[in-house]
Structure 1
Amino acid sequence: MFESVGWGEILVLIVAGLFILGPERLPEAAAWLGRSVRKVRDFATGARQQLKEEMGSDFEQFQKPLEDLRQLRNFDPRRAVTQHLFDGDPDPLGINGLSGGSVKPNGYPAATTTPAAKPEPEPLKPGEKPPTDPDAT
């Protein structure tokens, strides 16, 4: 119930309660709060038990989708997309295959001879416009 509340927040609430209620009324307010939380918890447990008794075996059918929804709280979109795209591939980027293996990361066989170096394009002369591709712009 109070999963997102840390000790620092609880300490701040206690100090604020001490200032607002004063030291003489704070223990009484804390006891009232504890009783109220316990009553709400008992009501929820009773309602769950009553629902389970009335529905019988159908209750299990409804409980599974609820458990699936609870698991969505821990949903990590980055992990889900990675699993979907790479489908459990231990080396999705092919980094392990770069050490000189016989197969490239894309699955094609690696070249046995070293390709000839591409010649460097000549630098532009002063005032010359660079080549453009009208389809790319």
Structure 2
Amino acid sequence: MELGISFEKILLIGLVAVLLVGPERLPRYAETFAKLVRRAGEFMRDTKSRVREEMGPEIDEVDWRKLDPRQYDPRRIIRDALFEDDPAPAQPAQSTALAEPAVVPVRTSMTRHEFTRETPPPFDDEAT
């Protein structure tokens, strides 16, 4: 995993640390920082192994890029959800062959209703 930290940046951070902390306290701070980095690495390895144990072998088959929320456009998701056709309801089972089949209206597309001052949208006083 590329973090985008170059050698020059690390050298600059080290130089600033030497100036701010001072040469007499720098070894102690460097040791503490190294312990922190080591513990963070162990934590990450433990977390990875626990996730692998719980998910099993299918974790290698997951396409993680497909699950990245940054790839989705919220406008497209909402538009698709609002204008997708509703599935037709299941028809009840017929008890006899002579019974007439039930006619179920199927909505094929969303219609948009324009509201005006004369025909305002519905309002429920008890809901608010």
What TM-score does the superposition give when structure 2 sets the normalisation length? 0.45
Structure number with the bigger relative contact order (C-alpha 8 A, sep ≥ 6) is: 2
**Which is higher, the Rg of structure 1 or of structure 2?**
1
What TM-score does the superposition give when structure 1 sets the normalisation length? 0.43
